[in-house]
């Protein structure tokens, strides 16, 4: 690409980015920080990246812009998260800073990002085709030289073959090699380094030596030419990069495929009564839209006309099609399967369940495990070491001959590029994250996958985790003079301010009975204990929750119950029937077969917890645990050297979920964006838990294999290259194969996850 063309491209991109400086556009790819309204977090995709050093250079460029507070870039997913202050900078400013390095920044959910990727893939294929065609022709001209004795070929014929090879190498140089040269030149201007710099140097040196040998056959470089090596290793490198791109889109790209599930445009009913096609950003609350079979719902909505079946597997883990009819709700991102329906928009964008899920996945796609951070730290020093090793190899071999010395340096430059090392960890982690996402498990933090493989203790909450989320009110006892209906009305008024499953059961029971209203003030919820409030009209201080929270003596019953009290003491007790999840016992047995210690910590009474433990065959179950006590138990286990995973419903377990080494949240009651867990189950059962443990162990195994392969490859090939036993074309093939081997190995982790609890051994 010429300087004029590059400047024109930058101007075109700057014009597009200036449109993103309007506040109304930010919500499409950014979200404000609740604690600082001027601080925004943007999710973007960077085009033109090839390695870890590219990611480091982009991060440095972003952080150099005043107002950019932090930047995280993933070399594997090419996605980034940028935190910036709106009163100091605008999106076009920090996007332009990245453009000066030669990379393009695209909003992560912008349809243009897909078009840019397709265009880049087409260009890459053209460059690969030109390199392949020229390589075959050059090899055809080189074959007679290799297959005949020196005296068998006339000097003028030999020179003619050299000139023909030189001419055929020019398209490879000026077209196929341009991505490498552009990146290398950009790095030199910015005084930075990336993996393309050693490769570009190797290409230039190889062609330079061969050109000198062609123009001056009697000179110091005239003994041999290396046009065949030049075209071959360019072809091999482009093949590796193209296949790597395809494989990345197939493995780590599974995350992006899920995140981009919403349609680009929808049919909205106009004021005139017809249907108009609009983009998602112009969709508003209460709009009436039409969704045809095979299309995804663009928003959380209510069906106003029609009856259809929908696929909510991505959002809820429910694999069976679900019937939805007039008056029922559908979720953004779910698929309409059978009949065209009309729906009214209720929630849009990040307020939808799908939007909250995407926010978690975007966070995971740019997070970096400690193994990947280590690779990032060594990438740049390693590249400087490559340049130094190549220079030393050239000096050492100069006594043999300048041409031979320079080609040895070329082999060192190419064979030692640490692409495989930088891809070893993120490729595997993102493949697993994509497979888990398709199975209904969202990974908020890639580091958690690495830690999960070391977990030896799993602690479960009880209510809503080992038992069903929905309970039914079985029996009510009340103070003399207080009717059961009155007690239930007061309790339901308090319960309405809590998301606990017991609270929801009380609200549901009251909705089926009296419609009396209670106006409460000074409502406070105490996590894991209960709710208290003031009832001004009756001058009562009401409390709903555990017996201890209500100031009552502990009960000896082995049933789940909630107490209601006022300033005079006990008012009522509500007993509930709870159902153990069908998959709870098989899940616990499977975890134990994996060698994990299983415990239960619950805020319910010890009698109720002990009864559940007996039904599930558990030996270690503790009841009457406040959130603080749960956290203390986790810290105690950690102090004894245990690595602890916590599984809860995310309602009252915030502190312990955050305090555990790894945490899981399941259930649909809590908004996903408020979850403190490392893993979030979209469904409401425990089946994915065991598969997640097993996949994490497999992931760490694959990461170790990748790192060992990358290390063995470099340790084996570098000495061969420095001793002159590895020609440039073979070095290029080795470099391409090493990166492909890492990605192909990681691709094994993208296979569909099966929830076979009985098959765990």
Q: What is the pLDDT of residues 327-377, one digit of tens each?
A: 888 888 888 888 888 898 888 877 777 776 666 655 555 555 555 555 556
Which of 296, 318, 347 terminates a domain? The answer is 347
Higher pLDDT: 63 or 604? It is: 63
* Residue 532: predicted pLDDT: 92
The pLDDT of 379-387, averaged and rounded, is 71
Residue 38 neighbours by CB under 8 Å, 6+ apart? 85, 86, 87
Higher pLDDT: 132 or 115? It is: 132
The pLDDT of 81-93, averaged and rounded, is 84
Q: How confident is the model at residue 244 (pLDDT cuts 50, 70, 90)?
A: low
3-class DSSP assignment, residue 594: coil
Please, what is the Cα angle at 536 between 534 and 539, to 5 degrees? 85
Instruction: With a cut of 90, say whether residue 296 has pLDDT above it.
Output: no
Instruction: With a cut of 60, say whether residue 254 has pLDDT above it.
Output: no
CA nearest neighbour of 543 among 560, 511, 575, 520:
520
Instruction: With a cut of 70, say whether residue 188 has pLDDT above it.
Output: yes
* Residue 364: predicted pLDDT: 52
* Residue 564: predicted pLDDT: 93
Looking up residue 293, the CATH number of its domain turns out to be: 2.70.150.10
Q: How confident is the model at residue 1 (pLDDT cuts 50, 70, 90)?
A: very low
- Return the minimum-mean-pLDDT range out of 8-17, 263-272, 602-611, 641-650: 8-17
Asked whether residue 185 is assigned to any structural domain, the reply reads no
- Contact assessment for residue 514 and residue 598, using Cβ atoms and an 8 Å cutoff: no
* Residue 757: predicted pLDDT: 64
Q: How many domains does the chain have?
A: 3
Percentage of the chain with pLDDT > 90? 6
* Residue 533: predicted pLDDT: 92
Asked whether residue 312 is assigned to any structural domain, the reply reads yes
Which of 315, 347, 379 terminates a domain? The answer is 347
Q: What is the pLDDT of residues 539-558, one digit of tens each?
A: 788 999 888 889 888 776 66
The torsion angle over the Cα atoms of residues 133, 117, 437 and 373, rounded to 10 degrees, is 80
C-alpha to C-alpha distance for 374 and 299, rounded to whole angstroms: 41
Asked whether residue 335 is assigned to any structural domain, the reply reads yes
Q: How confident is the model at residue 113 (pLDDT cuts 50, 70, 90)?
A: low
Instruction: With a cut of 70, say whether residue 379 has pLDDT above it.
Output: no
C-alpha to C-alpha distance for 648 and 652, rounded to whole angstroms: 9
- Contact assessment for residue 690 and residue 757, using Cβ atoms and an 8 Å cutoff: yes
First to last CA, the chain: 57
Q: Is 412 exposed, middle or buried (0-12, 13-18, 19+ CB in 10 A)?
A: buried
Higher pLDDT: 151 or 204? It is: 204
* Residue 160: CB atoms within 10 Å: 12
C-alpha to C-alpha distance for 686 and 466, rounded to whole angstroms: 8
- Inter-axis angle of helices 728-747 and 687-722, nearest 10: 170
Q: Map tokens 């069903």 to a residue.
A: 468
- Contact assessment for residue 389 and residue 362, using Cβ atoms and an 8 Å cutoff: no
Instruction: With a cut of 50, say whether residue 252 has pLDDT above it.
Output: no
Instruction: With a cut of 60, say whether residue 9 has pLDDT above it.
Output: no
Asked whether residue 556 is assigned to any structural domain, the reply reads yes
- Inter-axis angle of helices 227-250 and 196-215, nearest 10: 160
CA-to-CA dists, residue 595 to 386, 448, 457, 639, 660, angstroms: 44, 19, 9, 20, 19
The pLDDT of 572-583, averaged and rounded, is 86
The pLDDT of 597-613, averaged and rounded, is 84
CA-to-CA dists, residue 641 to 264, 636, 694, angstroms: 50, 9, 22
Q: How confident is the model at residue 75 (pLDDT cuts 50, 70, 90)?
A: low
C-alpha to C-alpha distance for 323 and 443, rounded to whole angstroms: 29
What string of H, E and C letters represents the secondary structure of 108-176?
Answer: CCCHHHHHHHHHHHHHHHHHHHHHHHHHHHHHHHHHHHHHCCHHHCCHHHHHHHHHHHHHHHHHHHHHH
- Contact assessment for residue 607 and residue 556, using Cβ atoms and an 8 Å cutoff: yes
Asked whether residue 414 is assigned to any structural domain, the reply reads no
N residues, the chain: 761
- Contact assessment for residue 155 and residue 172, using Cβ atoms and an 8 Å cutoff: no
Looking up residue 516, the CATH number of its domain turns out to be: 3.40.1110.10
- State both tokens at 609: 């917890």
- Inter-axis angle of helices 178-189 and 196-215, nearest 10: 110
- Return the minimum-mean-pLDDT range out of 295-309, 582-596, 675-689: 675-689
* Residue 544: predicted pLDDT: 93
C-alpha to C-alpha distance for 701 and 694, rounded to whole angstroms: 11
Instruction: With a cut of 70, say whether residue 251 has pLDDT above it.
Output: no
C-alpha to C-alpha distance for 758 and 761, rounded to whole angstroms: 8
- Return the minimum-mean-pLDDT range out of 267-276, 494-503, 538-547, 711-720: 711-720
Asked whether residue 75 is assigned to any structural domain, the reply reads yes
Which of 301, 330, 347 terminates a domain? The answer is 347
- State both tokens at 28: 């499409």
Higher pLDDT: 757 or 459? It is: 459
Domain that holds residue 301: 284-347
* Residue 654: predicted pLDDT: 66
C-alpha to C-alpha distance for 363 and 356, rounded to whole angstroms: 11
Looking up residue 97, the CATH number of its domain turns out to be: 3.30.70.100
pLDDT, mean over the chain: 78
* Residue 673: predicted pLDDT: 34
* Residue 333: predicted pLDDT: 80
Starting at the earlier edge strand, list the strands of the sheet with 441-443: 441-443, 679-681, 662-665, 644-648, 457-460, 597-601, 621-622
Higher pLDDT: 403 or 623? It is: 623
Q: How confident is the model at residue 672 (pLDDT cuts 50, 70, 90)?
A: very low
Instruction: With a cut of 90, say whether residue 464 has pLDDT above it.
Output: no
Strand 662-665 versus strand 644-648 pairing type: parallel
Q: pTM higher than 0.75, yes or no?
A: no
358: left (phi over 0), alpha (psi -120 to 50) or beta: alpha
* Residue 348: predicted pLDDT: 80
C-alpha to C-alpha distance for 627 and 647, rounded to whole angstroms: 13
CA nearest neighbour of 52 among 194, 201, 191, 188:
194
Please, what is the Cα angle at 96 between 93 and 102, to 5 degrees? 160
* Residue 171: predicted pLDDT: 92
**CA quadruple 635, 641, 642, 644: dihedral positive or negative?**
positive
Integer-rounded Cα radius of gyration of the chain: 32
C-alpha to C-alpha distance for 457 and 597, rounded to whole angstroms: 5
**Per-residue exposure over 23-42, b if at least 16 CB sit within 10 Å of its own CB, e if not:** eeebebbbbeeeeeeebbbb
8-state DSSP, 750: G
């Amino acid at each position: 690409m010429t300087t004029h063309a590059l400047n024109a491209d930058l101007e075109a991109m700057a014009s597009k980015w200036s449109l993103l400086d309007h506040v109304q556009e930010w919500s499409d790819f950014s979200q404000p920080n609740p604690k600082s309204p001027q601080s925004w977090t943007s999710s973007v995709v960077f085009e033109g990246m090839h390695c870890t050093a590219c990611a480091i250079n982009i991060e440095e460029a972003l952080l150099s812009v005043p107002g950019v507070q932090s930047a995280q870039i993933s070399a594997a997913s090419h996605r980034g998260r940028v935190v910036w202050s709106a009163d100091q900078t605008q999106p076009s400013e920090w996007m332009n800073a990245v453009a000066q390095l030669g990379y393009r920044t695209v909003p992560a959910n912008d349809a243009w990002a897909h078009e840019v990727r397709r265009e880049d893939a087409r260009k890459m294929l053209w460059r690969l085709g030109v390199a392949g065609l020229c390589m075959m022709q050059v090899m055809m001209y080189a074959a007679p030289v290799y297959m005949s004795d020196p005296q068998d070929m006339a000097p003028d014929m030999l020179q003619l073959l050299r000139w023909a090879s030189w001419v055929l190498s020019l398209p490879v140089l000026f077209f196929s090699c341009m991505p490498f040269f552009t990146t290398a030149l950009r790095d030199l201007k910015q005084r930075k380094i990336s993996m393309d710099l050693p490769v570009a140097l190797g290409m230039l040196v190889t062609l330079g030596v061969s050109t000198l040998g062609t123009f001056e056959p009697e000179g110091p470089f005239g003994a041999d030419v290396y046009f065949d090596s030049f075209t071959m290793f360019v072809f091999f490198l482009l093949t590796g990069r193209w296949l790597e791109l395809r494989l990345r889109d197939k493995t780590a790209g599974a995350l992006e495929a899920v995140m981009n599930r919403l349609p680009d445009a929808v049919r909205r009913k106009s004021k005139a009564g017809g249907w108009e096609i609009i983009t998602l950003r112009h969709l508003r609350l209460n709009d009436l839209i039409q969704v045809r079979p095979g299309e995804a719902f663009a928003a959380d909505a209510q069906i106003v006309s029609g009856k259809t079946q929908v696929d909510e597997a991505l959002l809820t883990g429910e694999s069976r099609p679900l019937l939805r009819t007039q008056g029922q709700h559908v979720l953004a991102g779910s698929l309409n399967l059978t009949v065209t329906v009309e729906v009214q928009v209720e929630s849009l964008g990040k307020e939808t369940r799908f939007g909250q899920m995407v926010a978690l996945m975007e966070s995971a796609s740019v997070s970096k495990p400690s193994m990947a951070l280590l690779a990032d730290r060594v990438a740049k020093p390693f590249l400087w070491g490559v340049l130094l090793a190549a220079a030393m190899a050239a000096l050492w071999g100069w006594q043999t001959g300048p041409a031979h010395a320079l080609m040895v340096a070329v082999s060192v430059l190419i064979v030692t590029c640490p692409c495989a090392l930088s891809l070893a960890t993120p490729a595997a982690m993102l493949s697993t994250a994509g497979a888990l996402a398709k199975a209904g498990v969202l990974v908020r933090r890639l580091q958690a996958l690495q830690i999960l493989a070391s977990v030896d203790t799993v602690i479960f909450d009880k209510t809503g985790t080992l038992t069903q989320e929905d309970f039914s009110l079985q029996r009510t006892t009340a103070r003399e003079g207080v009717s059961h209906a009155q007690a239930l009305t007061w309790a339901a008024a308090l319960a309405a301010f809590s998301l606990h499953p017991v609270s929801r059961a009380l609200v549901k029971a009251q909705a089926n009975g009296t419609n009396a209203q209670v106006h409460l003030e000074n409502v406070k919820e105490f996590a894991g204990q209960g709710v208290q409030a003031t009832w001004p009209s009756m001058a009562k201080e009401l409390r709903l929750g555990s017996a201890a929270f209500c100031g009552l003596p502990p009960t000896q019953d082995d049933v789940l119950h909630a107490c209601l009290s006022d300033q005079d003491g006990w008012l009522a007790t509500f007993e509930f029937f709870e159902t153990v999840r069908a998959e709870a016992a098989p899940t616990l047995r499977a975890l134990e077969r994996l060698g994990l210690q299983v415990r239960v910590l619950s805020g319910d009474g010890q009698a109720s917890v002990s009864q559940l433990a007996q039904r599930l065959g558990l030996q270690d179950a503790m009841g009457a645990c406040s959130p603080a006590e749960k956290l203390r138990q986790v810290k105690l286990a950690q102090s004894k050297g245990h690595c602890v995973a916590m599984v809860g419903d995310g309602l009252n377990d915030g502190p312990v979920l955050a305090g555990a080494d790894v945490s899981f949240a399941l259930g649909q009651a809590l908004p996903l964006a408020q979850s403190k867990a490392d893993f979030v189950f979209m469904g409401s059962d425990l089946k994915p838990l065991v598969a997640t443990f097993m996949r994490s162990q497999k992931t760490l195994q694959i990461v170790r294999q990748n790192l060992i392969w990358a290390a063995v490859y470099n340790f084996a090939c570098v000495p061969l290259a420095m001793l002159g036993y590895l020609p440039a074309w073979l070095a290029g093939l080795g470099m391409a194969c090493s990166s492909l081997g890492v990605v192909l190995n990681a691709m094994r982790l993208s296979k569909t996850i099966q929830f076979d609890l009985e098959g765990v051994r």
